Amino acid sequence: MVEQTLAKIKEIEAKAAELIKNAKQVAVRTVRETTEKQVKELETLEQELKAETEKLVETEKLKAQQEAKNIATEAQKQIASLKTATTPKIAQAKKEILKCL
């Protein structure tokens, strides 16, 4: 009777050990799968962020180029305006100088 009880206890312990082993394997597999999933999600987010950053950089680059064109155009207008304003004065000054000679 004691031997039967000991045999049953050993059998129960063996089953418990097997259950624990299986539970550990499931836990390890779950952790591995979760980690892989998170890595894939992070890679996807990283790619999206990179694409968005490139898009923003390109947009800002285009804005800066347009602003540079606008500044150059405005500078040319100002130069033309100055030339227009000073040409009659230069001509008048030349006439005055020639009169003095």
Q: What is the pLDDT of residues 30-84, one digit of tens each?
A: 999 999 999 999 999 999 999 999 999 999 999 999 999 999 999 999 998 888 8
pLDDT computed for residue 96 by the predictor: 79
Cα-trace Rg, the chain: 43
Q: What sections of the chain are H helices per DSSP?
A: 2-100
Under DSSP, the state recorded for 14 is H
- Taking the C-alpha atoms of residue 101 and residue 98, their distance in angstroms, rounded to an integer, is 5
pLDDT (tens digit, 9 = 90+) per residue, 16-27? 999 999 999 999
pTM check: above 0.85: no
Who wins on pLDDT, 100 or 34? 34
The amino acid present at 32, given as its one-letter code, is R
pLDDT computed for residue 77 by the predictor: 93
**CA 58 to the chain's CA centroid:** 12
